[in-house]
C-alpha cells in the first residue's frame, strides 16, 4: 500500500516524479490550496449525488481540471 501525504504538508514532494523542486508554501498558501480542493470536492460530491450522465461526467472532469489549475496558481 502506498504512503499518503497531505497536500498541504511540506513532505508533498516525496512522491512526485515530474516536478523536481518545490518552494515552501506559506501557511496562508497552504490554506488556500486546502480551501480550493475542498470546494472542488464538494462540487464533485454534489454532481455524483444527483445522478450520472455524460454531462455530469464532463462537469466532474472540468471541476478537477479547474481545481488543478487554481492550485497550480497558488503553488507556482
58: pLDDT confidence band, cut at 50, 70 and 90?
very high
For residues 45-56, average pLDDT: 96
pLDDT in the model for residue 1 = 46
d(CA 41, CA 35): 10
DSSP 13: G
17 in Cβ contact with 23 (< 8 Å) = no
H helix intervals, the chain: 27-50, 54-75
Q: What is the Cα Rg of the chain in Å? A: 14
* Per-residue confidence (pLDDT) for residue 18, from 0 to 100: 67
- Kindly state the average pLDDT of the residues 23-43: 94
Amino acid at each position: 500500500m502506498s504512503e499518503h501525504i497531505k497536500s498541504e504538508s511540506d513532505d508533498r514532494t516525496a512522491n512526485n516524479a515530474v516536478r523536481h523542486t518545490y518552494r515552501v508554501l506559506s501557511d496562508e498558501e497552504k490554506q488556500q490550496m486546502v480551501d480550493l480542493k475542498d470546494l472542488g470536492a464538494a462540487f464533485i460530491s454534489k454532481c455524483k449525488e444527483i445522478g450520472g450522465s455524460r454531462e455530469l461526467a464532463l462537469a466532474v472532469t472540468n471541476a478537477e481540471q479547474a481545481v488543478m489549475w487554481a492550485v497550480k496558481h497558488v503553488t507556482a
